[in-house]
Each structure stands twice: as C-alpha cells, then as structure tokens.
Amino acid sequence: METNQNQTNGPSELLNKAVDQNSTGNEYAEINQSPQLTRKQKIIKETKSLSLLIFIILIFRSIFFEPFRIPSGSMIPTLMIGDFILVNKMSYGFKVPFSDLFSDPIYIFGKDNPKRGDVVVFKYPKDTSVNYIKRVVGLPGDSFEIKNKIIYINDKPINVLDVTEDQIGKKILDDMDDKFRGHNLRLFKVKTGENEHVIQQDNDNFYKVDHEKIKIPDGQFFVMGDNRDFSYDSRFWGFVPHEYIKGRALFVWFSFILPFSENEVKFRPWRIGTSIN
C-alpha cells in the first residue's frame, strides 16, 4: 500500500518541482536583466573613466611625485645619462594643484627652503619651459666664492678628498659615458651640507677655476652640477628663485640610454633603486 501511494504521488511532485524551478529561473533572469548600452553610450562611459584616471594622475604628478629622465652628464657621477628618477614635489611645501603651471606656485602649508646639498629639479630661469637638475650649494644670505675650483661658503672651504685611484673612483670611471672618457678626469669625495657625495673635475679645464665673491639674495639659491667642468649652472646664469624649484630628487628607478640619441645605448640595472644624496 505504501509503495503504491508513493508511486501515485510521484509524478505530481516532480511536476510541481519543475514548475517551481522554472518560476525561480524566470525571477532570477528578470532580476539580473539590465538594459543594453548603445555603442555611443559605451564610448562616453569609457571616455569619462579614462578622463578621470588621467586627471587623478596629473594631480598626483602636480602635488606628490613626478618622474624625470636625465638627458645630459652635468650631474655625473651622482646621476648618469639615461637615469630615470623620482622627484618628491612635497619636499618644500604642499602646493595647490597646477598652480605652478602658469605662475608662481601657491603653497597651502609647509613652505620650506631646500637644504644645502639637496639635489633639486627646477625651472631654468632663462627659459621656464625647460627643467634642470643641480645640487644646491649656496643658500640665501651666504657669501659664495670659488678659488682654484675650491668652493668657499661664508669664507670656509668645502674640503675635497681625491678618490680617483680608490675603489669608488675606479668603479665610476669604468662606467663612464663615452663622451667623457677622453678627458683627464679626477674624482673627489666632498660633503655639501649633510650630504656626502662625489664630484668630477677635468684637470685640463681651466675655464671656470674661480668665481668672484658674492652674497646670495633672500629667496635665491646657488646651484651647481657635480660634473663641475661640464655643467651649465649658477656660475654662468645666476641664482634660482625658490618659486622655480619643483622638488627634491629621491632615487633612480630605472637607467637606460635610449636608442637614436647622441650617446651609446646602455642599460644599467645595478643603478635601479640608487638613492640620490
């Protein structure tokens, strides 16, 4: 009897289950059904997303950090031709985004002066559309003088130590770019402010051996390249105003001399991650 009763009710139960499953499926389809976007609507949506992303990137570059590429050898051996560096644009104050594009930057808070020895990126005073990178040597209020290639700050010399024949000097010369290999180069360890670094000089170059004693005005900075005899800097065109300084160089994140340039193609993976002092 029980067996017969189960057999009689079986088809009815299966039918009810099928109906319930079909109803559930229809409800699920209705819930998940969304209106199809036209081709034009898709393009507009993607354009808005891309524009927002680009705007966020531009704000990030304007306020926080910006990458730069080193095209010349004026900062050798601290920076080599082909180095890609990251610059901290908050080092000397937090700026209103894009405020430095068309005029002097507007600082919201934290405006500060670069320290002696900082490596900075700035607008070239003679053509503000061009970016330069040099080391801050003289600060506002300093007296500055060069005698026989020795820098004097407030009448005190910045002492140098010849390391050309040391391991550090040989390593630098082994990696020297071809355009400088034919010169009589000497390498010196110096301490500019709190930063210890190496400078490069050409012993056969006597063009800028001295610089008359001057006083650096308020809000202005005297900058020089570490490749002293191959750097176009404050010795030639004067001071850098604070408003022209974009930020402090932090580290090398890539190093590659691109093809089709005046220099030989070269990849320096060992420089990746090198801090800039």
d(CA 193, CA 150): 15
Pick from 260, 261, 249: nearest CA to 66:
249
Joined tokens for residue 263? 């220099």
Give the three-state DSSP class for 164. coil
Instruction: List the catalytic residues.
Output: 74, 134
Radius of gyration of the chain (CA): 32
CB 192 within 8 A of CB 277: no
What amino acid is encoded at 184 in this protein? Answer: N
What amino acid is encoded at 44 in this protein? Answer: I
d(CA 162, CA 187): 6
